[in-house]
Structure 1
Amino acid sequence: MDSNDQEHVRSLIPFAQMPDDIFNSMIPFITLKTYAPSKMVFKRGDADLLLYWLMEGSVDLLDKSFEARNRKSKDENARYVLDSHEPHRLTAITTSNCRLALIPRSTLGEFSENLDAGISLDRTLEDDDGVDWMSALLSSPLFEFIPPANIQTLFSKFEEVEYAAGEVVIRQGEPGDYFYVIQSGRTKVERQIAGKAQLLAELKAGDNFGQDALVSDEPRNANVTMLTDGTLMRLAEPDFEHLLMAPVIETVTLEEANEMIAAANPKTYILDVRNPKELETGKIENSLNVPLLLLRKNMPKLITDAIYITTCNNGKRSKLAAYQLNESGFTGYVLEPNKET
C-alpha cells in the first residue's frame, strides 16, 4: 500500500477515528483488491470473514426486495463499510471497475476494543428476514452474466403462485411456459420411462426448475409434483428468454472455435451432446461426446477452468448444454448451428 492509498484508507470510518498507533498496527492486515464490472463482491445471507470499503468506482447494494442503491467512491457515505452485518443483509455488485479495501472482520473487532464505544461501521441497516428465494437464485453462477441494471427488472417479472400437496406443476411432454423458483415447500421430479415413474430429484426452497424446456424449445422432459403445500415464484417464457437466457448463451463459429482450441488459453473442447447413434452420421474431429441427458451427471469429470463449446444437430440441445454448463460454474459457448456437422 503506497502513501496515497494509506492516506485514503486513513480517511475511512472507523480508521479516521483511531489513534495513530492503532491504525499503523492495522496496515499489514488491510488488502486492496480490484474488481471488474458486474462482479459480485458479496451476497445477502452469506457469512463473511471480511469487511469491505469502496475506494474507487461504484457498486449497487441490493436489499431483500432487490431494490438497488448505488454507491460511488466519491460519495460521502463511501467512507463507511459496505455492509457490516454477518451474515450480510445486502448484496454488492460492481457497476464499474472498482478497487476495494478489505480487512478481516475479526482483526477490526480486536482493535475496536481499544476505541471509544459508538464507532459506526455502517449506514445501511436493513431488516433481516433470513435468506429468501431471490438470494438463493442470485447465488447461481448465471448471475455473473446478467447486467446489474437488469437484475431488479428480472425479479419484478416473477409472479407468486400457491400450490397444494400432490398438485402437478409440470407435466412431461407438455410445452414449456414458465421457469420456477421454490419460495416455500418441496417438490419431486419424476420421469416416465416405459410407463414407470423414475424419481430424479427432490427439490426444496431456493431450488429452481423448468428451464430445460425453455432453453431447448423442446417439450417438458419430466413431471414436477408438490410434496407439500408451497409457494412458487414463476417467470414467463418471454421474460426468461430476454432477461435470463439471452445474456448467458453466446455463440461462436467453427473458425473461432478452432482458434480457441489452438490457442489453448484456457484449454478448449468441442462437446457434442448428441446420442452415440447420431454420431454415425459424422462428427467434428477430436470433439468429445457427452449426451445431453448425461451432462449434469458427468459434470464432476469436466475440467473446471476449461472452455466447452457445445454442438448437436440443430442447436437446441447445444443451447441447453451451454446453459447447464454456465449455470454450474463452467464456461460454455454454443457452436453456431449452421456451422455444425
Structure 2
Amino acid sequence: MITSKTLALDVLHNFVPLNALSAQRLKDVVSGCYVESLPPESIICRYGECDDKTVFLLSGTVALIDHHGQQTLLNAIQPAANYALVDSRPRQFTIKSHTPINILTVNQQRLHDALVWEQSLSSLAKALFANLPPSMDKEWVLHLLQSHIFYRLPPMNILELLNALIEVPVKKGQKVISMGDKADCCYFIKSGRAEVKQLDHNEVLTVAYLGTGGFFGEEGLLKNAPRNADVVMLEDGLLMRLEQKDFDRLLRAPSVQSMSFSLAQAVVNSQEAVWLDIRLLEEYQLIHLKGAMHLSLADIRLKARQLPLNKHYIVCCDNGQRSAAAAFLLGIQGYNASVLAGGLWSLSATERAQYLEAA
C-alpha cells in the first residue's frame, strides 16, 4: 500500500469526475486517501451494498459480476475505466480483482461536496459580486471561498458575512490577539502574514503561520473561552474582523449538522461513520460509546491530522455543546463531521446500558 502523496495529481485528472475539480480542491479530496495494491480475487465491493466509497481503477483488471453471476472484465486502459467503478447505490455488481490491481478509494460524500462547491462557485461568485460593494477585493473573495469554512453555508449567509466584515489595518509586530483575553471576534487575513503562538508546558511555541485567506480567533468563540494563543503580524497587512454575534448567526450554526442517537448509531453500525468522543480523557475513560475514538476538544486544532480524512465522524460529548465546537473545527480542516444531538445525556436508560462502556 502506498500513500496518495506518491500519486501525481495530473494522473488523477484523467478520471471523471475528478477532472472537473481545480488542483487545490482535488488535493483536498484525495488528502488522507490512499492507493491500495490488491492481489487477484480481492473483493472491492459486493452486489447490493450501500457503502460510502468511490473507487477508481489505476492499473490492472477487475471483474464485474452481476446478480446472475455473469462476469465482465474491465481493464484500466479501457475508456470505461476513466470513470469510477460502477458508482451507483446500491451496488449493481460485485467487483473483484482479476489481476493484481491498484485502486484509489475516496469518500463519496467528500467528493460530492467538492463537486457541488466547484461547479457552483462561478455562479455564486457572480451573484456575490453583484451585491457586494465595488471596493470589495474580488480576488480575495474568490480565495476566501476556497476555504472549507464556507462549504456548508447557504449563499445568502456568505453574502451577509462578507458585508458584516470590518476592515482592520495592522502593522508589522502588532499583537492582534493575546492569550487569556476575552474572545469577542475572529479575523480573516486579507493581506499580510501572521504568526500563531501557544503555551505548551510553560514554553511559548510557534504553531502556525497564516497568510492571505487564513483566519484565526474562531476557537475562543466556539468554546466560549479566553484566547488560547497569541497572534502577531509578521508584516503590515489588512484584516477583516467578524464580531461574535455575526459569527454565531452566520457561520457557526449553519456549519454544524446534528443527528439523533438512533440515526447516528445506525450509520455507525453500517460502517459509514465512526464515533469521536471529544471530552477530556478522564471523562472518556469513565464511560463512552462502544467503539468510540477519542480526541479531546483542546487537541482538535493540533492533532486532528492524526485522523483519517476519508471517514465520517459523529462527534459526541455530554450535552452536545462541546461537540458542536469540535465539529466546526474539524469541518474547517476538511473533515466530514456531524454532532450527536443532545450528547450522551440524550441516551435513554436502555440505550446507555446497551451502547456505553468503561475504558
TM over 0.5: yes
Which stretch of structure 1 is more off in the superposition, 142-151 or 171-180?
Answer: 142-151
Distance 2:165 2:175 in 1: 20
CA contact (8 A) 1:154 1:243 kept: yes
Distance 2:293 2:229 in 1: 26
Structure 2 partner of 1:152: 159
Distance 2:200 2:266 in 1: 42
Q: Deviation digits for residues 177-197 of structure 1, max 9, x if unmatched?
A: 111111111111111234431
Query: Could you tell me which of 18, 29, 41 is aligned with 2:119?
Result: 41
Distance 1:152 1:238 in 2: 16
Query: Could you tell me which of 49, 52, 66 is aligned with 2:129?
Result: 66
User: Does residue 280 of structure 1 match 2:288?
Assistant: no
SS at match of 1:66: helix
Any stretches of 5+ residues in structure 1 without a counterpart? 1-34, 45-58, 70-125
CA contact (8 A) 1:177 1:214 kept: yes
Residue type matched to 2:170 in 1?
A: Y
Structure 1 partner of 2:221: 214
Q: Deviation digits for residues 239-297 of structure 1, max 9, x if unmatched?
A: 11111111111222222211211233xx2111011232232321111111122343344
SS at match of 2:129: coil
Residue type matched to 1:319 in 2?
A: A
Distance 2:269 2:200 in 1: 42
CA contact (8 A) 2:129 2:138 kept: no
What's the Cα RMSD here?
Answer: 3.0
User: Does residue 131 of structure 1 match 2:139?
Assistant: yes
CA shift, 1:234, in A, is 0.7
SS at match of 1:219: coil
Distance 2:120 2:261 in 1: 37
Structure 2 partner of 1:197: 204
| Residues 207, 310 of structure 1: alpha-carbon distance in 2 compared, 3 angstrom cutoff | same
| Residues 252, 230 of structure 1: alpha-carbon distance in 2 compared, 3 angstrom cutoff | same
CA shift, 1:301, in A, is 4.2
SS at match of 1:173: coil
CA shift, 1:159, in A, is 0.5
Which structure's CA Rg is the greater one? 1
Distance 1:195 1:253 in 2: 41
| Residues 129, 281 of structure 1: alpha-carbon distance in 2 compared, 3 angstrom cutoff | closer
CA contact (8 A) 2:197 2:204 kept: yes
| Structure-2-length-normalised TM-score | 0.58
| Residues 150, 279 of structure 1: alpha-carbon distance in 2 compared, 3 angstrom cutoff | closer
Distance 1:225 1:181 in 2: 14
Pairing 1:50-199 to 2, within 5 Å after superposition: 59-62=123-126, 66-67=129-130, 131-132=139-140, 134-199=141-206
Aligned residues: 233
Residue type matched to 1:287 in 2?
A: A
| Residues 301, 280 of structure 1: alpha-carbon distance in 2 compared, 3 angstrom cutoff | closer
Distance 1:311 1:279 in 2: 10
Distance 2:302 2:280 in 1: 15
CA contact (8 A) 1:318 1:334 kept: yes
CA shift, 1:130, in A, is 7.5
Residue type matched to 1:131 in 2?
A: E
CA contact (8 A) 1:66 1:152 kept: no
Q: Deviation digits for residues 182-234 of structure 1, max 9, x if unmatched?
A: 11111111112344311111111221111111122222111111122221001
Residue type matched to 1:188 in 2?
A: E
| Residues 136, 262 of structure 1: alpha-carbon distance in 2 compared, 3 angstrom cutoff | same
Distance 1:159 1:245 in 2: 18
Distance 2:166 2:197 in 1: 25
Point out the structure with the larger helix share.
2
CA contact (8 A) 1:67 1:152 kept: no
Structure 2 partner of 1:315: 320
CA contact (8 A) 2:125 2:142 kept: no
| Residues 332, 186 of structure 1: alpha-carbon distance in 2 compared, 3 angstrom cutoff | same
Query: Could you tell me which of 261, 266, 289 is aligned with 1:259?
Result: 266
SS at match of 1:191: strand
SS at match of 1:199: strand
Distance 2:232 2:321 in 1: 26
Residue type matched to 1:295 in 2?
A: I
CA shift, 1:129, in A, is 7.3
Any stretches of 5+ residues in structure 2 without a counterpart? 1-111, 348-355
